[in-house]
Structures are given as C-alpha cells and as structure tokens.
Chain A
Amino acid sequence: MAAPGGQGGAGALSTRGGSGVRRMKWALELSLGGTRSRDRQGGQGDVVYPIGYSEKPVPDTSIQETDKNLVEKRCWDVALGPLKQIPMNLFIMYMSGNTISIFPIMMVCMMAWRPIQALMSMSATFKLLESSSQQWLQGLVYLIGNLLGAALAIYKCQSMGLLPTHSSDWLAFIEPPQRMEIMGGGMVL
C-alpha cells in the first residue's frame, strides 16, 4: 500500500496539520491489528461449518419414475396456454368497451398480435413439445387456442367497427361516374 514519494506528501501534510482533523489521502498504519482482525473473521467462518459440510450441492443420482408424467404435464401446459388466456382476454374485452380510443386500440393490438406471433413461431413450440408422446394433439390444441385468440381479436375489431365490412367503408374509393351526355344551354339570351 506504500505509494512512491510518500515522504514529500507527509511533509506537505505536516505543514497543514494545524488546520484541524482531516481525512488523509493516504496513511501508513504501523500496527498490524486491523488487518489481522479481518483475516481472523474469515478464519472464524471456516471454523463455523460442521465437518463434512460441502458448499456445492451433491447431485441426486436416483432415477425417478414421475419424470415422464412431468414432461407430459409440462407440454400440456404449453399447449393449453393460449386457451387459458381466452377468459382473461374476454374479461379485458368486456372492460375496455367499444369506444375507439388509445387504450382499447392498444389492447386489441396486443390481443391480435400475440396469437399471430405464436403462430409464426409454431416450429419453436413444436420443438418444445418434441419429447411428449402426444405431440400432435398438443400442437393441434395449441394451434386452435391461438386461432381462437385471433378470432376473438377480430371479433373485438368488428364490434369496435374497425373492420371494413360495410359499404360505407369503401365509399371513398368509388370513382365519380363518367358522363355519357354533354348538355348545356340556358335562358334565351
């Protein structure tokens, strides 16, 4: 901890010493007590652990019969996830109402986006379900759940009037009809 040129620094400090108690930039501790006490603490910790105690956990090497069931369960959880969302979504739909404002729009967007995203990453989900025996059934359930979610979003859009299903939605695209006859005239001048 000794810094080069410490002597000069100490000399400078001694000149200022009279101004009062200050924190020193550096100091030499001549007694060894402080460092020893720190070391002693570490030593005490080693002493506390009982004999035979290891900090690393010991891996459980026994074979469990329930593993297979757990995988199945886990896969079903994944597959049923979107279906479980639906009641929640219904509740949100009911709560947000049919007015067109920023929050309902955001919610509808979320509702529509999540199933679409899930459908896009279908292959990744299939990989997850690979280990399951009912892989195809679970995949189907997952697909249906997501499709239902998307349908729900579309239904919400419909009830909010966001879908161009009425003739009025296409009104702006109707071109003015072409005129077949040329007509003019007026009062006799």
Chain B
Amino acid sequence: MGKLILLLLSLIAFCNIVAAVFEDQVGKFDWRQQYVGKVRFSHFDTHLQSSKKVLLATESNVFAALNTRTGDLFWRHVDKTGPEGNIDAVLHHGQDAVLVVGNGRVLRSWDISVGGLNWEIVLDSGSFQSACLVGQQGTVKHAAVLKKSVISLHYLSNGHQKWIENLPESETVNYQAVHSGGNGQVYALGVVPHSHIAIVAYSVEDGEIIKQISVDAPWLSNIPASCAVIGQGMLTCVDSTTMSLYTLDLYQQLQMTQIPLQALGLEVDPDFHPYLVSHQPNPARQPLSEFLLHLGPDHHLLLQLNNGQVVTLRDFKPALLVAFATTGEKTVAAVMSPKNKTACSINLFSAETGRRLLDTTLIYTVDPTGGKPERLHVQAFLKKDDSVGYRVMVQTEDHALTFIQQPGRVMWTREEALSHVMTMEMVDLPLTGTQAELEGEFGKKAAIQDGLTSMVLKRLSSQLIMLQAWVAHLWKLFYDARKPRSQVKNEVSIENLSRDEFNLQKMMVMVTASGKLFGIDSKTGSILWKHYLENIPDNAAFNLMVQRTTAHFPHPPQCTLLIKDKDSGLATLHVFNPIFGRKSQVAPPVLSQPILQSLLLPLMDQDYAKVLLLVDDQYKVSAFPSTKNVIQQLQETAASIFFYLVDSSQGRLSGYRLRTDLSTEQVWEVVIPTEVQKIVSVKGKRSNEHVHSQGRVMGDRSVLYKYLNPNLLAVVTESTDLHQERSFIGILLIDGVTGRIFHEAVQRKARGPVHVVHSENWVVYEYWSTKSRRNEFSVIELYEGMELYNSTVFSSLDRPHAPQVLQQSYIFPSSISTMEATLTEKGITSRHLLIGLPSGGIMSLPKMFLDPRRPEIVSEQSREENLIPYAPELIIRTEWFINYNQTVSRVRGIYTAPSGLESTCLVVAYGLDIYQTRVYPSKQFDVLKDDYDYMLISSVLFALFFATMISKRLAEVKLLNRAWR
C-alpha cells in the first residue's frame, strides 16, 4: 500500500512537471486582465467580520467576488450573453447568494466563500417581476419569486419549490413587487395603472391566500419606481404630480393616507421623478422605519415614519449620493456631498437619529479623467470601541470602481469599462530623447536650414549625447545586475516611455463603449492614461484612425476618433495624442451634417498628418485637416480617389469617385434585394499589410502569381429566410473601384454568424452548415495565372483578365467567436489565423491548412510544393492555443499589429477579458532562443582563444629549444 501511495505521489509530481514545461515563459511576453463589467448589484459579505469579499453581479451577466483589499478576483462566473444570462436579482443571505437569471428562467444558489454552485433549478416560464428573501421567526429559509402570473416559494437549502400559486386577476393586475416582513406572510403587490393597488397576502406555510384587497390609487402606475415598504408593513409611495407621500398599512389595509410634501416643507425639483429608498437589514425582520427620499439630483432626505407620521430627520442638500449600510445592530447612511470641484466628502449619519457620526469624513477625489460618481456601495463595520467604521466603493459613470478607505486612501481602482472594448489601435512609442534629437537634427527641414559646418558640429554634439546615454545605460545595467532579479522593476510611466530595440512595446489605444479611452502599455498591461468622453450615446459607432504616427518627431502623434450617434446620425471628432492621451490643440471641424463614413488617405499635409475624408449624407466630402496644401493635393489626386459605401438596410453597395471640387460622383452600384438576403459584413484589406512574395512556386518551379488587388472587397450576405432547408450564405468578391464582381459563391443550407478574414489574395470564412450540423471553414484564393499582366503598377481600371478562383472547404470541430490573421512588418513570415473560441482559447491555425490547392491525390509536384494532402477535418491541436490556460472570456475581437521583428506579431484579444501576447508564425528565425547558452559559447570562445595564445607561446619555446640543440 505504501508503495502504491508513493507511486501515486511520484505520478502526481511528474504530471506537475509536465504541465509546467514552459513555466519560465508564463507571463513573460503575455498578460491577461479579467473584468466583470458594469456593476448592477453589489453585496458586501458581512457574514464574517474579517471577510474581505464583495459580491458583484453585472450587466455583462457576470457574478463575481472581489477581494476588497486588493481589488483582485476571488472567483468569477460568466453566464451566457444576452437576455438568457441576464441577472435579474441577487438575494444574499449568509454564505449563500441566490441569483435569478434569464428573466426568471433559472434560480441558482452560489456558495460565496469558494464560488461553488450549491444548486440550480429551472423555474416555470413567465416574465420575472421581483424576488425577496422570506424569513420566519428570526430565521431565513425561503426565497419568494414573483412572476407575471405566479408566485413561488423555494427553500434556500436546496432550491426545491415549497409551493407555487397563481396570482388572482393576473390578466388585469400588474404584480410588480413582493414583500415579506418576517411574520409568516408574503405580500404580492400589484397595480392596475391609474386605478388601484392590489395586495395579496400568502401564508408562508402552504401558500394559502390569507387576504386579498384592492386600494384605490389613481395616481400610481409603477410600484418599484415610486413605492417602498417601510417600518411595520407600511407601503409608502411618492407621487410627483400630486406632490404627496401616500402610506398604506399592509396589515390592516385601511385607506391610503395622503401626506402632502408641502406639509413637510418639501419641494420636488422640476423634471425629477422622486423615489424612495428603504432598508431591510434582516429579511426576517421588518424594514427600518427610516427611509430616504430623493427629491432632486442633489437633494436627499432622511425621513422617519412613526405611527403614520412622517418626520424629517435630516435634509441632505447638496448630496450627490446616499446609501444605507448596516453592521451589527447599527444602521448608518453614507452621504456624498460635493466639497469643491475636484473632491467630494462622504460622511456617515446615524439612520435612527440623523446625527452625523464623528470622525467619519472621507474625502473622495474626483478623477478629472473619469466620470461623475454614480452609485455608492458602503461596507460598514464595527470598530473595537463599538463605533462604526466604513469603506466605500464608488461607481462612476465610466464604469470604474474605486474602493476608498478613511480618510480618503484609494485602495484600488478597477476600470470595468475595459470589459467592453469597441475598437483599438496600436501606436509605436516615441523614440527616446536622444534618438529623437538625432531624428530632429538630421531631418529634411534641418538640412535645408543649416550649413555644412553647423551640421558637423551638431553631429558631433549628438554623438556625444549618445555616448553619454550609452554609458548611463551600461551603468544602469551593471547596477541592476547586482540586485536580485525580483527587485529589479522596470516601472513604466508616461515619462520614461520609449521604443525598445525591436519595437515590441507599443501603446494600445482602446476605445470602450462607455466612452472612456485608455492608453495601455502593451508590455505590462498597465494603464498609462485614460480619458473619459462625456455624453456618449449607448449605441454610438466608433472609428479610430491614426493620422500621424510617432515617426515625424517634432510633430506629436495624432489619433482621431469619429463618434457617431446612430440615432441622430450626427458625428463628432475627438483628436488626441495617443501617447499621452491629451486632447490635441488641433480644433476638429464641427460636423453639422450626418456622417456616413470616413476615409483615411495616404496623402499627408505639410505637418505629416494623413488626410481624413468625411463623407456626409449628401455624399459631399470634407477633409480634415483642411489647409490649402491639403485641398491642393486633393484636387491633384482627386481622379484616383474612390470610395464605397454599403447600406445594409437597403442592400445597396455603391462606389463613388471624387471630383476636383470635392463633390462626388457615383461610379457603380450593386443592389442586393433585401427581401432575399441582407449584407452582413464587408471586408477590405488592411492598409498596413505587406505581401512579400508576389506568387507561389509550383512543383515544376514555375510561378503562379497571386491576384493582389488592394481594392478587392469581400461582401458576405445571409438569407433572410432562416429555415434550415432554405437558408444560405453568399460571398461576393467585388472591386471597390470599378464595381466589377470577380466571384460569387453561395453556400446552400448554411447559416451565420459568418466570420470573415480577407488578406493577401485569400478570403477565409466560417459558417454553420445546417445540413450537416457542423461548423465549416471555406477558403477562396485568387491567382492571376502563370504570367503577370503588369508587374509595376496595379490599377483596377486596367485589368482585363479575371483572376482564377480556387475554393476549398473544411470541417471545424468548434464554433468560433472571432477570427483574425497575423500581420508582420514585411510579410515574409507565413500567415496564421488567430481564432477565438467560445471556450476561451485563442488558437493559431496555420494558413497552410486552409489552402485550396491541397490535393486530394498526392503527386510528385504537390509533394515538391509542400502541400498537405486534403483532409476534410481540421483538427484542433492543443499546442496551437497561444493562451495556454489563460482563458479569455467572450472574445469579441482580436487585433494584430506588426512589430519591428519580422518573425513577431503582436496580438491583443479583447472581450470581457483582455489578453496580450506575441506570436511567431514561422518560429523565431531572427532571434536567438531564450535558452541560448551565451555562457557556453563565450566560454568556449575564450577558452579557444587562450588555448591558441598558450600553444603559440609553447610552440615558440619549443622552436627556440630546437634551435639551441
């Protein structure tokens, strides 16, 4: 037996070794950041005094626990996207958290200490309204779930349904709230809008209706928006039209009593819907008789309801946010009030008396690059002297969470806006100061201005500076080498940003849906700058363009973000410096017309900024920057500027030509009838893509030239008929300049979503085959043939021969989330496809496997060409996963950027998480390996050197001796 255990142990140890083969490389080139999304519900774990957990349920359908000390994730559960995984309610009790998910479809209980699932049950259909914990005699054992027509009670221990009852008159009454005060009854509160309130009381024991009553309330339309249960079962509502509070005793069901707000000396701000906030610290007891009344955006009141009388305990004005928190028997209200422009102060007030607690001020500094505070989450705890201490988690408009301790120390900040990145770009970092100096001195402008002698002097001085920098660098290396490796930290800050030798470190500019822009260092993942754009509509479309790179030294790099409101069609431009995040001094033009599309031209103005053309809904074009120089250049080149627009709603593809007066002229139009199919996506080629090899070498050593049309577009359509027998997808290869259709393919019995990658001379797309019920890849490659028509210039207007089209399809064993192709500096490295899988893996599939020239029968020539024989299945090899065990949840996009090394491509996968790594599609052919033995090689070299020296000397001595003899 002992031997067996030993064997098992050794096996386990062996397994661990195997799993950690590349452990030294983990996190060396890659990093991952996990996010949860915009917080909808939060609960601090008050079960244990020492607990440091906060539970978050978010709008991204994530349920997670954070460490309140560090802000790191303890655990995280990612549910389905969309309404199916939507978290409707969170009921937190002790060690358990009960979640209602998917519009009341599923009830789930989680163990919050480890994040394990306690139980899960599927509820009957019906739209979810409300849920609450139900206590009885001081203990909480049940949870009540109210749906449109039924109410059910479930055990907290195992989720089993205790009883389920139909709600009376559910066709006319909208039941919207459920309440339990711990007295053995559950109240379902419903409303007939502008008529009356319906109250049904159920017995907890057997679900029997104890009471059923309706009370007139012609002013009420929505219970959760304006009512709350306060104190001993008093349903209290506020109405802005009659300017009154209404109270109703749920237990006695008398008349509604109206208390005019004016009697309390209160007034509602115009255009503000007042609402009530009550607090029930323990579900087994009645809620507190104190409640909060919001009368205006910065006006809150702490009121007390005492025997039907409302007493004002405290008037908070101005107060941005107010929240209740309970610890032990004490309940406090935390109030955030503005202090000055850059800071807010938070104070605690006793809920019972409304008195301010001493020494509870906390200063919250408003981040000038962030949004306004939106919600306050308070963690209260008892100090040793029995006074109340607290920490707050402030949620701001830009989805950031900031956890603050008294007296204002920020413990951590989470930028949850990064859970929804819309678009991104990678920008080269600026050269270091000395390098920049060199660039500046020997730039074109300098050469014209200065004479020969001053240039020589400049050269000498800059060389001196370089020498100085080099010595400093050596000294730093030497200094660092003496310290242990763990202590050497290369803190990246905005000041010491500089390009590394191989341009592997870049600035990631990320645009998020909340309107917050981030500048992230690609090497470490640390956020270097952030900028919040206010008033960004929810459905805005973003288009990020790099107008000027860092290559034009005295001019700062410049990015332009086009933000378009999809409802109004109006767009704004935000021009900023991508390295420092600062708004540029260049004033963007005011766009009064709705903008259809933007177009970045390779033309540059005198300051090396690329010209941005904006096409408005009158098909007029405006340029930014629009200096005289630019207009002149545009007029000169107008004849060769074309653009295309795709209107998916009308199924229209149209191409336009620019005239010299900056008006446009339609050149071609293709209409795809929207009744049959709709255009899903249009993919052109990336403008920074280089193709090194113009053709492919055949087995007989002739060349099959690639058809490299930079103006080629791949248009994907899906059928409107989704029946599995009749659905189809179509792909159209069309020239964007002439509108000539080169190829058209229809995949019958196939359905989207279609993911397309278009690069070089190939298009790869993936779809779902409804016939065979599987995912399939298809690849189209275009070739010119054995001869080039014109090898020096490419003009779409002068290509008489249609390209040869080859196509092949494959079976893929998994569905995919997104797809992108690798990109390298010169395009010499072979290409891989980066495929984001729903499982969270990112796979690097060699393009070699997706090659329509893969032969079915192997011949001598195909072997010569290194073609893999055709096999319908593409297999997923685990070693192709570039993110090993670092799952990236819900990958929405993959961004690839070339680095300074031809072998290396930088990859960023973004979704709920962000993952950055490097890939080497053709292995690292231009870099020495990590484990390259410098010591061995150099020691061998030195040894040989000394050996020759010594043997030379010995030989001389020997010769001399011989001469003497």
Contact B543 A189 (CB under 8 A): yes
A32 close to chain B: CB less than 8 A: no
Residue A174 contacts which of B645, B791, B796 (CB distance < 8 angstroms)?
Answer: B791
A to B contact number (C-beta, < 8 Å): 118
Q: Is B794 in the interface zone, CB < 8 Å from A?
A: yes
In the complex, which residues 125-181 of chain A have their Cβ closer than 8 Å to any Cβ of chain B? Answer: 161, 166-169, 171-172, 174-181
Report yes or no: B792 in contact with A183, Cβ–Cβ below 8 A: no
Q: Given that A185-B736, A189-B543 are contacting pairs, would A177 and B646 also be in contact in the complex, using a CB cutoff of 8 Å?
A: no
B642 interface neighbour in A166, A174, A183, A186, Cβ under 8 Å: A183
Q: Is the beta-carbon distance between A185 and B640 smaller than 8 angstroms? A: no
Instruction: Find B702's partner among A167, A172, A184 (CB 8 Å cutoff).
Output: A167
**What is the bound-complex CA distance between A185 and B645, given in angstroms?**
6
Question: CB of A188 within 8 A of chain B?
Answer: yes
Q: Do A189 and B597 have beta carbons less than 8 Å apart?
A: yes
Q: B583-626 vs A: 1/0 string, CB under 8 Å?
A: 00000000000011111111100000000010100000000000
* Distance of A174 Cα from B642 Cα, bound (Å): 27
The residues of B that contact A181 with a CB separation of less than 8 Å are 640-642, 711, 737, 795-797
Q: Are A188 and B646 in contact (CB under 8 A)?
A: yes
Interface mask (B700-727 → A, CB under 8 Å = 1, otherwise 0): 0111000010110000000000000000
Quick check: is A106 within 8 A (CB to CB) of the other chain? no
Q: Which of A87-144 contact B (CB under 8 A)?
A: none
Residues B771-809 near A (CB distance < 8 A): 788, 790-797
The smallest beta-carbon distance between A171 and chain B, in angstroms, is 5
A187 part of interface (Cβ distance < 8 Å): yes
A63 in contact (CB, < 8 A): no
CA gap between A168 and B703 in the complex, in Å: 5
Contacts of A171 on B, CB cut-off 8 Å?
693-695, 697, 703
Contact status A185-B794, CB under 8 Å? no
Asked if B640 and A180 sit within 8 Å, CB to CB, the answer is yes
Please, how many angstroms separate the alpha-carbon atoms of A169 and B693 in the complex?
12
Q: Does B73 contact A (CB under 8 A)?
A: no
- Give the complex CA separation of A53 and B330 in angstroms: 140
A185 to B599, CA, bound (A): 6
A182 at the interface (CB under 8 A from B): yes
- The reply on B951 being an interface residue by CB < 8 A is no
Q: Which chain B residue has the least Cβ–Cβ distance from A167? A: B703
Residues of A contacting B641 with CB < 8 Å? 181-183
A168 touches B648 (CB 8 A): no
Residue pair B637, A185 in contact (C-beta under 8 Å):
no
* Given contact pairs A171-B694, A176-B690, A182-B641, A187 touches B682 in the complex (Cβ within 8 A): yes
**A176:B643 contact, CB within 8 angstroms:** no
Judge whether B701 and A176 touch: CB under 8 Å.
no
Asked whether A177 lies within 8 Å of B736 as measured between CB atoms, the reply is no
CB distance from B651 to the nearest CB of A (A): 12
Main secondary structure of the interface of A (DSSP, over half): mixed
CB distance from A96 to the nearest CB of B (A): 20
Q: Is residue B571 within 8 Å, beta carbon to beta carbon, of the partner chain? A: yes
User: Chain A: which residue is nearest B710 at the CB level?
Assistant: A179
Check B708–A183 contact: CB distance below 8 A.
no
Assess the B601–A161 pair: CB atoms within 8 A.
no
A184–B610 alpha-carbon span in the complex (Å): 14
Q: Does B708 contact A166, Cβ atoms closer than 8 Å?
A: no
Does B202 reach chain A (CB closer than 8 Å)?
A: no
Interface size class of B (residues with CB under 8 A): 35 or more
Given the complex, which residues of B lie within 8 Å of A169, measured CB to CB? 701
Q: Tally chain A residues at the interface, Cβ within 8 Å.
A: 23
A161, A172, A175, A188: the one within 8 Å of B645 (CB): A188
Interface residue? B381 (CB, 8 A): no
Chain A min CB distance to B135 (Å):
53
State which residues 532-574 of B face A: CB under 8 Å: 541, 543, 562, 564, 566, 571
Cα separation A141 to B794 with both chains bound (whole Å): 55
Beta-carbon contact of A178 and B792 below 8 Å:
yes
B691 at the interface (CB under 8 A from A): yes
* CB pair A172 B596 closer than 8 Å: no
Q: Is B736 within 8 A of A183, CB to CB? A: yes
CA distance A184 to B642 in the complex (A): 7
Q: Taking A184-B599, A186-B646 as contacts, is the C-beta distance between A166 and B690 under 8 angstroms? A: no
Q: What 0/1 pattern do residues 37 to 76 of A give for CB contact below 8 A with B? A: 0000000000000000000000000000000000000000
Q: Given that A176-B690, A183-B644 are contacting pairs, would A188 and B601 also be in contact in the complex, using a CB cutoff of 8 Å?
A: no
- Is the beta-carbon distance between A182 and B793 smaller than 8 angstroms? no
Chain A residues within 8 Å of B692, by CB: 172
Q: Give the docked Cα–Cα distance between A175 and B694 (Å).
A: 8
Do A188 and B711 touch across chains, with their CB atoms under 8 A apart? no
Measured between beta carbons, the chain A residues less than 8 angstroms from B695 are 168, 171, 174
Given that A168-B703, A177-B792, A187-B682 are contacting pairs, would A182 and B601 also be in contact in the complex, using a CB cutoff of 8 Å?
Answer: yes
CA distance A186 to B686 in the complex (A): 12
Q: How far is the CA of A181 from the CA of B598 in the complex (A)?
A: 17
Q: Which residue of A lies closest to B640 (CB)?
A: A181
Interface residues of B in 656-701 (CB under 8 A from A): 679, 681-682, 684, 690-695, 697-698, 701
Whether, in the assembled complex, B480 has its beta carbon less than 8 Å from a beta carbon of chain A, the answer is no
Q: How far is the CA of A161 from the CA of B710 in the complex (A)?
A: 34
CB–CB B602/A182 < 8 A:
yes
B window 32-79: CB within 8 A of A: none
B744 at the interface (CB under 8 A from A): no
**How far is the CB of A160 from the nearest CB of chain B, in Å?**
12
B787–chain A nearest beta-carbon distance, Å? 9
Complex CA gap A188/B643 in Å reads 12
CB pair A189–B595 under 8 Å, yes or no, is yes
Q: Is the CB of A168 within 8 A of B701?
A: yes
Q: In this assembly, does B208 line the interface, its C-beta being within 8 Å of a C-beta of chain A? A: no
B564 touches which of A166, A175, A189 (Cβ 8 Å): A189
Complex contact B701–A177 (CB within 8 A): no
Q: Report the Cα distance A187→B566, complex, angstroms.
A: 13
Are A182 and B597 in contact, CB atoms less than 8 angstroms apart? no
A185 lies within 8 A of B564 (CB)? no
Q: Pick the contact of A176: B615, B642, B694, B697 (CB < 8 A).
A: B694
Known A177-B708, A181-B642; judge A186-B597 contact (CB<8 A): yes
Docked CA distance A177–B710 (Å): 10
B269 at the interface (CB under 8 A from A): no
Contacts of B645 in A (CB 8 A): 185-188
What is the CB-to-nearest-CB distance from A43 to chain B, in angstroms, rounded to a whole number?
31
Residue of B nearest to A184 (CB): B599
Asked whether A182 and B637 contact (CB < 8 A) given A171-B694, A189-B571, the answer is yes
Is the pair A168, B702 in contact by a Cβ cutoff of 8 Å? yes
Q: Find A179's partner among B566, B600, B794 (CB 8 Å cutoff).
A: B794
Residues of A within 8 A of B566 (CB): 189
**12 sample A-B contacts, Cβ–Cβ < 8 Å, listed by A number:** A167-B702, A174-B788, A177-B794, A183-B736, A183-B737, A183-B796, A184-B599, A184-B644, A185-B643, A185-B684, A189-B595, A189-B598
**In the A-B complex, the 8 residue pairs with the closest CB atoms:** A184-B599, A180-B795, A185-B643, A166-B701, A185-B644, A177-B794, A168-B697, A189-B541
Which residues of A approach B to under 8 Å, CB–CB? Answer: 161, 166-169, 171-172, 174-189
A180-B793, A182-B637, A189-B596 given. 15 additional CB < 8 A pairs? A166-B703, A168-B695, A168-B698, A171-B703, A174-B695, A176-B690, A176-B691, A181-B642, A183-B737, A184-B613, A184-B684, A185-B597, A188-B647, A189-B541, A189-B566
